[in-house]
Amino acid sequence: MKKLETLLVEEKEGIAIITLNRPKAMNAINDTVMEEFGYLFSEGLDMASLKGIIITGSGEKAFIAGADIKEFMELDVDGGTKKSAFGHKVFDSIENCPVPVIAAINGYSLGGGNELAMACHMRICSDNARFGQPEVNLGLIPGYGGTQRMIQYIGKGRAMELLLTGDMIDAVKALEYGLVTHVTPQEELIPTALKILSKIASKGPRAVAGIIKTVNAYFDNTVNGFVKEINFFGEAMGSDESKEGVNAFLEKRKPEFRK
């Protein structure tokens, strides 16, 4: 893996913890951050050896407090379009990662940071977390998938209100809306994420990857998710993984799945 400037990567028992490390900038996303996330999810991480991935921010104030606005100053229509398209490409690679990705949100999750969190398969947060898409305050709209993914998680009405007002919601409201699945004290955030991923790691890795693909297919208008499920179920049924799972169940033992 090449040396990274803005991201720290640590591996614990097959789980990669990626920490955005720009604490003085409240972990704001700049071009380097996006390039390094793109590198990690395209070639930098050895997905075949991983059981899960956690994305978090350094410190206790911010997961990612938006984009680095200074980089917007010289953008024109063409530059803005390219910036958004690259962001979509990077976040799509996170969403379609074959191993489960949890956003461990340790504070402010705003703008592009919240869009990154929504690209992850699951989100958990500390009790001091705050969520929002404040782009409208700058005369902008979310550019990394926020207008689309927020609807998926909290519904059109709630998404429309948050996007149009630029208001923030707290951790309790985020749990109520379904944006996150767990709220924990700050010190329990990473242990909770590790616990979830450890449980998933005990399941069949092909089945885990298949569930990620088929669930994502529900939101992809170019494919039929039901057909994708049928096909993957058939493939899974003929795999060594399913044979091990079924035999273990019948023999009343824990299955021994292999990557």
Whole-number Å distance between alpha carbons of 140 and 160: 15
**Which among 115, 176, 229, 244 is annotated as catalytic?**
115
Which residues make Cβ contacts (< 8 Å) with residue 26, sequence separation at least 6? 61, 62, 64, 65, 66, 108
What tokens were used for 115?
Answer: 């869009």
Which residues make Cβ contacts (< 8 Å) with residue 136, sequence separation at least 6? 163, 164, 165, 166
What tokens were used for 13?
Answer: 């028992």
CA 120 from chain centre, in angstroms, equals 1
Number of H helices, E strands in the chain: 10, 10
The label of the residue with tokens 């550019």 reads 143
Assess whether 115 carries a catalytic annotation: yes
Assess whether 35 carries a catalytic annotation: no
Among residues 110, 98, 116, 108, the alpha carbon closest in space to that of 38 is found at: 116
Among residues 199, 191, 153, the alpha carbon closest in space to that of 174 is found at: 153
End-to-end CA distance of the chain: 21
**Which among 36, 60, 71, 135 is annotated as catalytic?**
135
Q: What are the catalytic residues?
A: 115, 135
